[in-house]
Amino acid sequence: MNAECGELSTFMAELQEFEPYAYFDKHMDCIRVKLADCSVTERRMNRIFTMLVPNDSAMGDKAVGVTIKGVAHLFDRCGLPMVGIVSLASIIDAIVKCFRDASAVRIQEEMATAISKLQVNFDDAEVVAA
């Protein structure tokens, strides 16, 4: 049993601290954003946004992430480029301007500070850390 505990200790020591992230999932045509290292429940807000809220009630019901669906269509309608590295805040701002409703505004307001440094890399469809 000590060998197993030693292996677990080594594994845990190698883990890196969680960092918020945003990435474009090209296979599902969505942008996935996670701001906290916690289990979540997905709440569909409208046809574009699904908000991630923490399962732990002590964390409240403030968004700890979001999924933006139908990115190719949204970017076409909003005139956004799907190339290069794009600021997540500018993506959400543009979507809110094109498809303004109470849910979109709530997500924009709740996540404004947390997403200010996140970017989405459309060239490699991978995470670009803050």
Q: pLDDT tens across 13-64, in order?
A: 677 789 999 999 999 999 999 999 999 999 999 999 999 999 998 888 888 9
Check: CB of residue 87 under 8 Å from CB of residue 112.
no
Residue with tokens 């002590």, as numbered in its chain:
58
Query: What interhelical angle do 71-78 and 88-98 show, nearest 10?
Result: 70
Give the confidence band of 127 by pLDDT, cuts at 50, 70, 90.
very low
Element (H, E) at 69: strand 65-69
Provide the mean pLDDT of the chain: 87
Which of 37, 38, 32 lies closest to 19 in space, CA to CA?
Answer: 37
Tell me what percent of the residues of the chain surpass a pLDDT of 90.
61
pLDDT of residue 56: 92
Residues 6+ apart with CB under 8 A from 5: none
